């Protein structure tokens, strides 16, 4: 395995106490078709701020929504993954993008809850300004020696955000090794940035896009296709890449998705992606204690995780 040289990053150039105000330049729906999962691509103009040229793909930006909570305190900061490459959206350092899903829930008393920050962002128009902080995140990054590795990216929902920028960056760098993007969403209408990823699959022989559409596609045994079932459903493609010593694995999206992926890796005896603690060594992954999973099964040095 080549040494993984992670870049030094700058953190919290702007803090919640001292945010920077930047304008929105675009805000468009990035689901494949009209979907009740409203997900939007937003780009901000950070020119003339200390953020310009200092945010790396894999990091997050913070947004301070206006207004106060029910206790009269200012709303807290929310984090959003950067979905543009390190060089900036459209190759311009002055533009940074993110991908925002509206939080919309129906509660037990029949009331409708609209998430504070996601809906604030999704409602914005070009020219409106937001208070931004960051960047944050020091490990979920591409290595400096990025072309030494193959990449397997696991995303659910807006977890695809960092992989948009990472794939752009890796393909632009002339990477010849393999990239596989496994994306999980409920329905085909929820495929994110499909107009970008689908053609790439044909254009670059070393890039494969594998959508796992949980509520439409079924496995042979009738169960749902989840991102982690790809270890069996797409084994022919993935086995040799996962077994190569220079493959890195990235996981982003739903909190809880790591458990299924870790179990699948362990079942396939791909232990080098994991850091198994004493409590689970020798146990079947089906017997792992779900409540203590975070303590007993950790990502190994070649696995990078960002879940929320």
- Chain positions contacting ligand FAD, by CB under 6 A: 60, 78-81, 98-101, 103, 105, 113, 115-119, 158, 161, 306, 308
Q: 151 with 140: CB under 8 angstroms?
A: no
Q: 85 with 77: CB under 8 angstroms?
A: no
| Contacts to ligand A2P from residues 9-68, by CB under 6 A | 37
Strands 60-64 vs 78-81: parallel, antiparallel or unpaired = antiparallel
- The yes or no reply on residue 295 touching ligand A2P (CB under 6 A) is no
Q: In the complex with ligand A2P, which residue's Cβ is closer, 137 or 184?
A: 184
Per residue, the 3-state secondary structure of 195-234, as one string, reads HHHHHHHHHCCCEEEEEEECCCCECCCCCECCHHHHHHHC
Q: How far is the CB of 308 from ligand FAD (least distance, A)?
A: 3
- Selected binder of ligand A2P within 25, 104, 116, 254 (CB under 6 A): 254
Tell me the residue nearest to ligand A2P as measured from the CB: 157
Tell me the residue nearest to ligand FAD as measured from the CB: 115
Q: In the complex with ligand A2P, which residue's Cβ is closer, 135 or 285?
A: 285
- Selected binder of ligand A2P within 142, 227, 238, 265 (CB under 6 A): 227
Give dist(CA 44, CA 24) in Å, integer. 4
Structure tokens at 258: 């790591």
Give dist(CA 91, CA 169) in Å, integer. 10
Coil, helix or strand at residue 167: helix
Q: 175 with 150: CB under 8 angstroms?
A: no
User: Following DSSP, what letter does each residue of 103-147 receive, concatenated?
Assistant: -EEE-TTS-EEE-HHHHHHHT--TT-EEEEEEEE-SSSS--TTGG
Structure tokens at 228: 């982690």
Residue 100 touches which member of ligand FAD, ligand A2P, none, C-beta under 5-8 Å by kind = ligand FAD
Residue 227 touches which member of ligand A2P, ligand FAD, none, C-beta under 5-8 Å by kind = ligand A2P
Give dist(CA 194, CA 165) in Å, integer. 14
- Selected binder of ligand A2P within 139, 215, 218, 283 (CB under 6 A): 215
| Contacts to ligand A2P from residues 169-188, by CB under 6 A | 184-186
Q: In the complex with ligand FAD, which residue's Cβ is closer, 116 or 171?
A: 116
Residue 294 touches which member of ligand FAD, ligand A2P, none, C-beta under 5-8 Å by kind = none
Q: How far is the CB of 4 from ligand FAD (least distance, A)?
A: 21
CB burial of residue 124 (10 Å; 0-12, 13-18, 19+): middle
Q: In the complex with ligand FAD, which residue's Cβ is closer, 46 or 79?
A: 79
Q: In the complex with ligand FAD, which residue's Cβ is closer, 77 or 261?
A: 77
Q: In the complex with ligand FAD, which residue's Cβ is closer, 69 or 176?
A: 69
Give dist(CA 44, CA 89) in Å, integer. 9
Site string for ligand A2P, 185-204 (x = CB under 6 A): xx---x--------------
Q: Which residues bind ligand A2P (CB under 6 A)?
A: 37, 156-157, 184-186, 190, 214-215, 224, 226-228, 254, 256-257, 260
């Amino acid at each position: 395995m080549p040494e993984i040289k992670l870049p030094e990053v700058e953190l919290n150039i702007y803090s919640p106490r001292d945010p920077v105000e930047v304008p929105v330049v675009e805000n468009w729906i990035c689901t494949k078709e009209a979907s009740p999962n409203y997900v939007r691509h937003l780009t901000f103009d950070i020119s003339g701020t200390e953020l310009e040229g200092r945010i790396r793909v894999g990091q997050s930006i913070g947004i301070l929504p206006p207004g106060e909570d029910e206790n009269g305190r200012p709303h807290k900061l929310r984090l959003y993954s950067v979905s543009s490459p390190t060089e900036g959206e459209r190759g311009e350092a002055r533009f940074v993008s993110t991908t925002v899903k509206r939080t919309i829930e129906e509660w037990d008393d029949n009331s409708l809850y609209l998430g504070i920050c996601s809906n604030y962002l999704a409602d914005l128009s070009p020219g409106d300004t937001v208070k931004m902080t960051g960047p944050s995140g020091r490990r979920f990054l591409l290595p400096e020696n990025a072309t030494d590795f193959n990449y397997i990216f696991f995303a659910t929902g807006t977890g695809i955000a960092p992989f948009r920028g990472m794939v752009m960056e890796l393909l632009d760098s002339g990477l010849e090794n393999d990239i596989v993007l496994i994306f999980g969403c409920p329905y085909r209408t929820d495929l994110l940035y499909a107009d970008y990823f689908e053609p790439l699959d044909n254009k670059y022989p070393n890039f494969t896009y594998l959508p796992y559409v949980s509520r439409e596609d079924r496995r042979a045994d009738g169960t749902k296709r989840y991102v982690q079932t790809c270890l069996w459903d797409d084994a022919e493609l993935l086995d040799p890449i996962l077994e190569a010593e220079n493959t890195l694995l990235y996981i982003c999206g739903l909190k809880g998705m790591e458990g299924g992926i870790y179990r699948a890796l362990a079942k396939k005896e791909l232990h080098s992606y994991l850091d198994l603690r004493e409590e689970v060594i020798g146990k079947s992954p089906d017997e792992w204690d779900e409540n203590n999973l975070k303590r007993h099964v950790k990502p190994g040095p070649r696995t990078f995780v960002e879940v929320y």
